[in-house]
Amino acid sequence: MPDFVDARGMFEKVKREAQAESDEQHFLSFPPFTMDPKRGLFITVERRRGKEEWEEEIWLSAPFEIIGRVRDPKSESWARLLRWRDDDGVVHQHPVADEDLHGDGPALCAAQASRGLKIVTGSIRQRFLTYLNRAVVKARVTIVARTGWHDVGGQRTFCSSRRYQLEDHRQRGRHVPLRCKRQP
C-alpha cells in the first residue's frame, strides 16, 4: 500500500507564516511603477514644458497581485498568475501568458477587463504590459492539464482535478505541494 502525503495542512501553515511576514508581499512596486493596494498601479513619468520639469503619476490599473510565476511540469508555457477583486468584491485569479505580453496588447487587456480588472485604455496601456513583463516574482505555480500522476520537481505527484494543481512555496527552503499526493 503506497504511503500518501496530504500536504494541505502543511501548505496552510506555510501560507499563514508567509502572510504574517508581509501582508502586501504580492503588490509589487519598482521604478517607475508603484502598486498601491487600494488605488492600483501607477507609473511616474517626467513632464516638461519649456524650462519647467515635474513628475506626474498616471493611473494604469486597479490593484492586483502577482501571486507567482506559472509553468507546466516541463518548465514551459510560462505565465504570471494575477489575483484581483472586481467591483462586486469577487476575487478573480487568472494566468497571463508570457507569450501574450509580446502579442496583441489591447486584446490581452480586454480579456482581463472582461474578468473585472480595470485597465487604462489608449497608448499608455502598453506600460501595463511593460509592468507585467518586468515584474520579478519568486513564487512558482505548476499547472497540469489533467488529473493523475505527474513528474514535478523530480518527484512523482498525484493531482486532483483542479485548474491550478501545484503550488511550490519555496520559503525557507521548503517545497510544499497543494492538493496533491506524492508517490513514495
Residue 153 lies in a domain: yes
Residue 78 lies in a domain: yes
Residue 136 lies in a domain: yes
66-94: pLDDT as tens digits = 998 988 888 889 999 999 999 999 999 99
Number of domains in the chain: 1
Q: What percent of the chain stands above pLDDT 70? A: 72
Residue 38 lies in a domain: no
109-162: pLDDT as tens digits = 999 999 999 999 999 999 999 999 999 998 888 877 777 787 777 777 777 654
The Cα 31–Cα 19 span in angstroms is 24
Q: pTM of whole model > 0.85?
A: no
Residue 159 lies in a domain: yes
Structural domain for 123, as ranges = 8-22+64-182
3-state SS of 156-178 is EEEECCCCCCEEECCHHHCCCCC
Question: Sorting pLDDT into bands at 50, 70 and 90, what band is 26?
Answer: confident
